[in-house]
A = this chain, B = another copy of it.
Amino acid sequence: MKKVDPQRHAERMAIKQRIMNERIEAADKDQGVLLVLTGPGKGKSSSGFGMLARALGHGMKVGVVQFIKGAFSTGEEAFFRNLPNVEYHVMGEGYTWDTQDRERDVQTAEAAWEVASRMLSDPSFDMVLLDELNIALRYEYLNLDRVLDDLQARPAMQHAIVTGRYAPEALIELADTVTEMKVVKHAFKDQGVRAQKGVEL
């Protein structure tokens, strides 16, 4: 291990503490946050579900709409669906390359948005997770303006989380916090490892 001088370390950390405290003091607004998790890397949906768990840990009420249901049964649905304080809707009928029927995909997405829209206008929901919404927007299954209007008009203290690749530019502009997930390496694609329960499924 490289040697680190304990005194110098303590000094650096004291400076860092001061900067962190100043930043925390400057950040004094409480508000619902619109968070977008996008990019090709692994972890977008799981991150949304992790925040859901965190919110439930604080006794908050959460809503979930999954816009794309995977071909597989998913662990997150089994886990969250029947918990108290959770309203859970799975609206997609499989990946669009499985349905191969655009009209049906549009109808399914619109029905899903009706549910999302109701949650986004109900202040009793502290957090709403719109899982894989970006995919529905990418394929233009939903009207982007309507989606943005509903997100913007939501209760001031409500958090909304949107996941999926290809977040549209206008959604990124509206959002408060945006993370782009970059693939550095992927076992499934690079190394012939099958999607694993608990990780992908």
Residues of A within 8 A of B (CB): 1-2, 4, 6, 9-10, 13-14, 16-17, 20, 23-24, 26-33, 35-39, 41-58, 60, 74-80, 95-103, 126-127, 139-140, 143, 159, 172, 175-189, 191-199, 201
Q: Is the interface of A mostly helix, strand, loop or mixed?
A: mixed
User: Which of B14, B36, B44 sits near A100, CB closer than 8 Å?
Assistant: B14
30 of the cross-chain contacts (CB-CB < 8 Å) are A16-B97, A17-B100, A20-B95, A23-B189, A26-B192, A29-B193, A32-B196, A33-B199, A39-B182, A43-B179, A44-B47, A46-B48, A47-B50, A49-B49, A50-B50, A50-B53, A51-B198, A52-B53, A53-B76, A54-B76, A55-B75, A55-B197, A55-B198, A56-B79, A58-B201, A60-B198, A159-B199, A176-B185, A176-B187, A180-B181
Q: Is the CB of B103 within 8 A of A75?
A: no
User: Which of B17, B56, B177, B184 sits near A178, CB closer than 8 Å?
Assistant: B184
Most chain B beta-carbon contacts within 10 A, residue among A26, A43, A51? A43
User: Which of B75, B97, B193 sits near A176, CB closer than 8 Å?
Assistant: B193
Q: How many angstroms from the CA of A187 to the CA of B32 in the assembled complex?
A: 10
Q: Is the CB of B30 within 8 A of A181?
A: no
Residue of B nearest to A191 (CB): B176
User: Which of B27, B51, B198 sits near A194, CB closer than 8 Å?
Assistant: B27
